[in-house]
Amino acid sequence: MFDNTAFAGHESAHHFFDAKTGLRAIIVIHSTVRGPAGGGCRMWSYATADDALVDALRLSEGMSYKNAMADLPLGGGKAVIWGNSKTDKTPEMFRALGRAIESLNGKYWSAEDVGVSVADMAYAAEETKYVAGLSTGKAASGDPSPVTAKGVFLGIKACALRAFGTDDLNGRHVAAQGVGHVGGYVCDHLAKAGAKLTIADVNQDTLNSVAKATGAKIVAPDEIYDVAADIFSPNALGAIVNPKTIDRIKAKVIAGGANNQLSTPDMGDKLREKGVLYAPDYVINGGGIINIAAEISGNYDPAWVEGKVQRLVETLGEVLDQAQREGRSTNRVADEMAIERIAR
C-alpha cells in the first residue's frame, strides 16, 4: 500500500473478509485530524483487489478534502465492497459490514454510496451505531442524494455565472453523465430551470424514467463526451476526465456530483489551458456529507444543513475566483485550501 501511487499519507487501511457472507471489504481512513473519518460505502465489481484498494485510497483522501471544504468536524474515510451490487447483496453481508465498522471503535462513520442503499445500511446499523444516512432513528435524515444534488445544481449556477455572465440556465444545454441517485435529482433541478438535457447511463430503466420526467435526449454512454453542450455534468464514477476524453469534451463548464473526476491532477491544468471552467468535485458535491454530518451530530437540523450548503456554494465561488485571479487550475487552488484547513 505504501508504494501505491494513490497513497497520500493515509492513517490506516483495513481489509475485512467474512467467509459466511462472502463480504470482501476495505475501509480506508485518510485523516482523523478534524474528527472521526466520514465517508460512504461503495459496492462495485472491481476488476482486481488492487483496483478496489486504489478506489478506497483516492475516495478517502477526497473525503478529507470534502469535509474540510464544507467546514465539518469530520476527517476522511471510505469503505468499498468488492462485489456485484445487483447479484451479491444479502442482509447478512451488510450485517458483517456493520461488525467491521464497529471494530474500528468510532474512527469511521459510514453511509450509502454507489451500489448501496438506505436499506442496505440499515442492516449494517443493526451491528454498529457508526452508520448514518438512515430512514429511522433519532436524527435520521434518509438518503443524502437530494441534498448532494441541490448543492451540485447551485454549483452549476455559480459556474455558469462566471463562464457565461449569467446564472440563468434557461436554454443552456447540459450533457449529464449518470442519472442515478444524485444525477437524477440534478436533472430534475436543471429541467425546472429550463435547461436542455442530453443524458447517458448504463441503466436503461433509469434513463427512460429521467428522460420521461425531464424531456431529455438519451445517448449511448460513450457518446456523452462528444455532445456539443454548454455544460458537462459528470454524476457517475470517477476519472472521466482523462487523456482519452479531455479533447472530446466540448463544454465550457464541467460541474457534477461524481467523485475523483480528474484521472490525474494535471488534467485540471489542461482544462484551464483549454478555457474550460472545472468545479472541483469534492467542493461542489459536499451537500450529502453535510446532511450526514447533521445526522451524526445526533440533532438533525434542516436549517443548519441549508446554511452549510449555501456556504459551500460560496466556497466554490471563492475557489473559482481565486483560480481566475492567479491564472491557476481550480483543482490546485482547492487542494491548497483543503490542506490548509486540515493543517489549521
Please list the active-site residues: 78
**Are residues 41 and 23 in contact, defined by beta-carbon separation less than 8 angstroms?**
no
Please give the backbone phi and psi of residue 236, each rounded to the nearest 5 degrees, phi first: -115, -120
**253: its cell numbers:** 463548464
The two most distant CA atoms of the chain are separated, in Å, by 58
**Are residues 25 and 97 in contact, defined by beta-carbon separation less than 8 angstroms?**
yes
For residue 253, give the H/E element and its range.
strand 253-254
> Cα–Cα distance between 63 and 74 in angstroms, integer?
9
**Are residues 26 and 44 in contact, defined by beta-carbon separation less than 8 angstroms?**
no
**Are residues 80 and 25 in contact, defined by beta-carbon separation less than 8 angstroms?**
yes
**Are residues 127 and 43 in contact, defined by beta-carbon separation less than 8 angstroms?**
no
Residues 6 or more apart whose Cβ sits within 8 Å of residue 190: 153, 156, 169, 174, 176, 197, 214, 233
Residues 6 or more apart whose Cβ sits within 8 Å of residue 109: 36, 37, 38, 39, 74, 77, 130, 131, 132, 292, 296
* CA distances from residue 220 to 23, 137, 178, 236, 253 in whole angstroms, order as listed: 33, 41, 11, 14, 21
**Are residues 251 and 276 in contact, defined by beta-carbon separation less than 8 angstroms?**
yes
- Conformational region of residue 75, where left means phi above 0, alpha means psi within -120 to 50, and beta covers everything else: beta
